[in-house]
Structure 1
Amino acid sequence: MDALYSFLERNSYYVVLIITLIIWLGLFLYMLSVDKKLKKIEKEHEV
């Protein structure tokens, strides 16, 4: 466990970067799914 703590202390910028990238990826995937649902609803109302 000490090795993990020392790794996180030395590479804290990378940990923050990875967490930020994961959050942005999640938001991007969420927006894609909302876009698909909206396109489906728009097609249903077109007809």
Structure 2
Amino acid sequence: MDFHAAHFVTSAARLDGCPVDSEVEVAFAGRSNAGKSSAINALT
């Protein structure tokens, strides 16, 4: 995988709001101030 080509696609509050699968996807979920953005920034 090339993490340098990562980009935001969408956000969804419900599963039926997610886009149709086309490739490998990675999701980050967690509480506020848990380091999600820091992890994403470290990868890109």
- When normalised by structure 2's length, the TM-score is 0.26
Q: By percentage of residues, which structure has more helix?
A: 1
Query: Which one has a bigger Cα radius of gyration?
Result: 1
Structure number with greater CO (CA < 8 Å, separation at least 6) is: 2
- When normalised by structure 1's length, the TM-score is 0.25
